[in-house]
Amino acid sequence: MNVIPYHRFEITSRLKRDDALAAIAAHVEKRQLFNWRWPSSSNDERFSGEVTIDGFSITRILGYRNSFAPVTHGEVHDAGSFSRIVITMRPFIAVLIFCAFFTTLALASLAASVVPGILLLLFLYALVMGGFWLETNKQEQTLRKIFQAM
């Protein structure tokens, strides 16, 4: 686990490039502004986003609210009879803006009183990292299963 909410890894798949793109496309729904959320194990392999000619940009459809869940970008490369998928996970841009604003408030309170400022920073860090890495690990396992990782 990194100390920042950013995760990059590669998957070598038994599937050819076109088959790998078709495999992820079978699990991706079109992005919607509002989704009905209900906790269910059927959500484990459901994503919203888009699949393009050379990659994908997706987020997992969650049955609960997690603002710190990662946005996943993938590039699918041809590797002979296999494919190589390079995946990058990072927080949503709005979350990063929220964190910058919250950090500014914490640093301002640090000037007034050290202990509450430090506690505020630690709370923000734990909140972001916990929410991000919980989902990142689930998504990585799901993507390895979808792409039939070697």
Please report the pLDDT score of residue 41 as a whole number: 56
Tell whether 113 is covered by a domain: no
* Domain-embedded: residue 111: no
CA atoms in the 13 A half-sphere facing the CB of 70: 24
Is position 102 within any domain? no
Give a yes or no: residue 27 inside a domain.
Answer: yes
pTM, to two decimals: 0.85
CB contact at 8 A, 128 and 68 = yes
Has residue 141 been placed in a domain?
A: yes
Assess if residue 116 is contained within a domain: no
pLDDT tens-place string over residues 9-47: 999 999 999 999 999 999 998 876 666 665 555 556 789
* β partners of residue 75: 55, 86
pLDDT digits (tens, 9 = 90+) for 88-138: 999 999 998 988 898 888 888 777 788 887 888 888 899 999 999 989 998
**DSSP run (H or E) holding 118:** helix 114-146
Q: Is residue 98 domain-resident?
A: no
Query: Quick one: pLDDT at residue 38?
Result: 58
- Domain with 12, as residue range(s), is 7-92+134-146
User: What is the CATH number for 78?
Assistant: 3.30.310.80
- Give the pLDDT confidence of 71-91 residue by residue, as tens digits: 999 999 998 889 999 999 999
3-state helix vs strand vs coil in the chain, percent to 5: 45, 25, 30
Note whether residue 41 is domain-resident.
yes
- How many domains is the chain partitioned into structurally? 1
